[in-house]
Chains A and B, each alone.
Chain A
Amino acid sequence: MTVRFDDRRGLNEVGNLIPGWKRMRRRGAASATAIRMARVLLPRSRKPVSLFISLAGVLIAFALNASPAMALSLNPDAASPGIEDANTLHWILFVVILAVIVLVNLAILRAARPRTRAVSPKPGRKVSQVKLAIGLGVFALALFVVATVFSDKSREIPAVNAEPVAGQVKGKPLEITATGSQWLWRFNYPNGAFSYRRLVVPAGVTVQLNLVSTDVIHGWNVPELTGKAQAVPGKTNEVYFRADDPGTYTSRSSVFSGQGYDTMEIEVQVVPTDEYEAATIALKKDIQDAQDKVEAEFKASKAKAVVATAEGKKMKAEINKDDIESADSQ
């Protein structure tokens, strides 16, 4: 009987099993590991087609995922320190997830390849389930640690600016209240001014946004500055951010709140400090003007009413006294 020399199966020239460590030494440990990894990863045949499509699909997905929106960063316009950390974590997880998906699907493809020869069960290659669980546990724990570090960093209140702007207590963030109502956001500034839909904040100033709601749950959502946070009636949800450069960020509420949900937009304008102060003063002045206008109109209409009453009295006097009495009795 002739035994074919088959180093790949670990047999030597006379058909005896070569010990693993010797096999490794023959080709060098690194190349042996590389070959083994390639054999695990690479499918040997293009069939079954339907499963191979999954691989193509995964690749397309990540090509799609990576191309337009996030050529370099998953959230390219991140403008607050906390969001930068969220971005970094997202990148790490993106790579991890990609690796997990590719590995699992390649393993499925390899397991499902059509057999050209009988596969003998390999009872000797049993993997200890406990060791496997420990390995996975270490992986999960590592992910948890990384995620905790970056989540903590992203939740930190950005360093408060030294020079307070108008309405800001020194050493504390500038407090602005955002109130969600169906289907409009209202922003109350410290000086008593308020605006709808558009929030104006100063650049380089740490802002504390108190999210409240007057009716249903609304989703505060500005990915570049704060990320998402729910505004729940009866509770105050606080988010902090500091945008260092001027810019405009437009977004939409993210929790379904009824039929006007699609139009519930948020626009955040980051402007230089002096512009912010001017803007809030202007807002306050506009509000005061509007109030004055209302008052003036009210006064005018009241004066008109006085005139009208006087005229009415005059007319009444002209009317026959008996007629009035008869009308009253009715």
Chain B
Amino acid sequence: MSRTTSYPQTMPPTRPEISSDGPGSRPSRWAELASSADHKDIGRLLIATSFGSIFLAALELLLMRVQLAVPENVFLKGVTFDRLLSVYGETAIFLVALPLIIGLLYYVVPLQIGSRTTAIPRVGQIGLWLFIFGGILLYGSFLFTPPEAGINPLPPFSDATFTPNNGVDVWIGSTGLITLGLLMIAIDLLATLHNLRAPGMAWRRAPLFTWAGAIVTWLFVVIAPIFLAAISMLLIDRLYDGGFFAGDAGGSPILWQHLSYIFFTGVYMAVSITFLAAIGEIIQTFTGRELPRKAVVWSFVVIAIVGTLAWTQNMLTAPIGSGWKYYGMLMSLALIVPFGLIFYNLISTLGSSDFHMRAPLRFALGALSLASIGLAAEIAQSTIAVATQLSETYDAWAATHFTLIGFVLFGGFAAVTYWYPKMTGHDLNEDRAAKSFGLMFVGTLIALLPLFAAGVSGQVTDSYRYFSYEDLGVYNAISAVGTLLLFVGVVLAVGNLVKSRSEEPAATPDPYRGDSLEWLALSPPPAHNFDVLPDVRSTRPMRDIREAVIRRDVEDAEAESAAQPVA
């Protein structure tokens, strides 16, 4: 809306050097959004889809927790629970986490490096539509057969012999379309990063979030094809009698575990890197101080490489050689170094500076707090002896959920509230954001902390019921209450994002006095992002611009006073 008012309508959408023949008829806003190859439109659509899906994922989680609230519950049928579980897993990973990180990076990074467009926008546009069709396929499957083979459909169970309906085919099709789509967007972003940086924007001057973009897109370019290969093999097994994962036909069910866990572990690391970088940007902006860039960026690189190589941490109970198991243990414990370094720098930079507590910072600190619980709990899951006790229980579930809810939900809200004025052109209602944050935070703690105890008491995951003699009722009942609070908090927080657009005053281009170039563009940025591009001379180009403006004003004033000498 504001876009049409702030800029002359004769402005051609992406290529200002081509002049048009007058205004012509302008397509409706929705038609423009749907046909746009602009990175900001695609990024916004991805982020909006992700926040819509957060609602779905939270609802599915709530239904499952209600079913598990009391032993021997009959609220859901077994098969309904299995379907909710499978769809929840796919929604949380493929419709919430991945589009959120790729969407945020795709929106912000070209602005941060001072680019007027992306390198191959049509590839990004095709990627968006592949992604959207993947999402439609998944939720359209509720009209016939949704997937029901679990969060990670392990063959041979997901093979046609044991799951003959089309649920697994839907899972393969939708995850494949989504992964392929996001891979194309990542490739576009990578090409942009390597080719379209503003003059002077050397890698050593690139902002943290841009570095995260480079690392995450490289990581995704490596792991996404592995996953696409794995699901293609599963599809051949299912439809054309292949034997890749059949234990008796020369294949191996263990192969699927290797391939799929490389991808899922890589996604875990990509999520961690993206949101740690976003939190780093927030802390830098609100304290006005820089993090030690070298240490933080190297930590990101180490997390991406070593973290993904730690995939056998998920397979400590599988019949694989013990060398694989010790290797997984070593790699995952080695992650203490980069994660510890980043956490230390983030917290100590904040602790030794002045700042005003605002919504993005609040969410960022919530993310750090929750993720610290999840990452620390993963230490126990990474050791062979304890994993034989606690893996595949709700202890593992709670550890993973603490990290991913911490980073995706809280880190996601931190990043989106931080760039909200830039994306929408409006401020965010801080009061409502703080309230929804409190509800979500308390809800997450109540929902997940009892599950550690349930896991230690032996409750296994993925089962639609448990029995009263197992003495697990208390933990699950508390968890259901917490999940309800979390759900309400999520609804309020998403509602605040929607409501603030129409209720809050228009935002200035640089509401926080940020240091990176996205704050040079107007809010929201025009189609070509920047009218003029500065020469980047430091890691803090916006501060240089602000100082130059002040210097110019002072010089002007001096010149004026020199021209009119005081009598």
Given contacts A51-B365, A216-B156, contact A61 B386 (CB under 8 A): no
A161 vs B510: C-alpha distance when bound (angstroms):
76
Chain B contacts for A233, CB-based, 8 A:
156, 247-248, 253
- 8 A Cβ contacts from A44-84 to B: 48-51, 53-54, 57-58, 60-61, 64-65, 68-70, 74-75, 82-83
Report the count of interface residues on B (CB-CB < 8 A). 94
A9 within 8 A of B: no
Given contacts A101-B372, A151-B383, A223-B458, contact A121 B434 (CB under 8 A): no
A64 vs B398: C-alpha distance when bound (angstroms):
14
Q: Interface code A214-245, partner B: CB below 8 Å = 1, 0 otherwise?
A: 01110101010011111011111100000000
Residue A136 contacts which of B340, B376, B379 (CB distance < 8 angstroms)?
Answer: B340
B565 within 8 A of A: no
Residue B347 contacts which of A107, A133, A256 (CB distance < 8 angstroms)?
Answer: A107
Q: Do B317 and A228 have beta carbons less than 8 Å apart? A: yes
Q: Do B156 and A148 have beta carbons less than 8 Å apart? A: no
Interface SS of chain B: helix
Q: Do B456 and A262 have beta carbons less than 8 Å apart? A: no
Q: Do A150 and B354 have beta carbons less than 8 Å apart? A: no
Q: Do B248 and A262 have beta carbons less than 8 Å apart? A: no
Question: How many inter-chain contacts with C-beta < 8 Å in the A-B complex?
Answer: 273
Q: Which residue of A lies closest to B458 (CB)?
A: A223
Q: Do A119 and B388 have beta carbons less than 8 Å apart? A: no
Residue B441 contacts which of A54, A58, A143 (CB distance < 8 angstroms)?
Answer: A54
B369 within 8 A of A: yes
Q: Which residue of A lies closest to B152 (CB)?
A: A256
Chain B contacts for A257, CB-based, 8 A:
157
Q: Which residue of A lies closest to B158 (CB)?
A: A216
Residue of A61, A253, A256 with most chain B CB atoms under a 10 A cut-off:
A256
A60 vs B449: C-alpha distance when bound (angstroms):
8
A215 vs B150: C-alpha distance when bound (angstroms):
17
Chain B contacts for A101, CB-based, 8 A:
372-373, 376
A139 vs B338: C-alpha distance when bound (angstroms):
12
Q: Do B252 and A89 have beta carbons less than 8 Å apart? A: no
Please provide the 4 A-B residue pairs with the shortest distance between their CB atoms, ordered closest to farther: A234-B247, A227-B388, A111-B351, A233-B247
A residues sitting closer than 8 Å to B (CB atoms) are 48-51, 53-54, 57-58, 60-61, 64-65, 68-70, 74-75, 82-83, 85-86, 89-90, 93-94, 96-97, 100-101, 104-105, 107-108, 110-112, 114-115, 118-119, 121-122, 125, 127, 129, 132-133, 136-137, 139-140, 143-144, 147-148, 150-151, 153-155, 182, 211, 213, 215-217, 219, 221, 223, 226-230, 232-237, 251-259, 261-262
User: Could you write out 30 A-B pairs with CB less than 8 Å apart?
Assistant: A50-B362, A50-B441, A69-B457, A93-B386, A97-B380, A104-B372, A115-B354, A121-B352, A129-B341, A139-B340, A140-B335, A144-B329, A144-B333, A147-B385, A148-B326, A154-B388, A155-B322, A155-B384, A223-B389, A227-B388, A229-B317, A233-B156, A234-B248, A235-B319, A236-B319, A254-B461, A256-B461, A259-B82, A262-B78, A262-B466
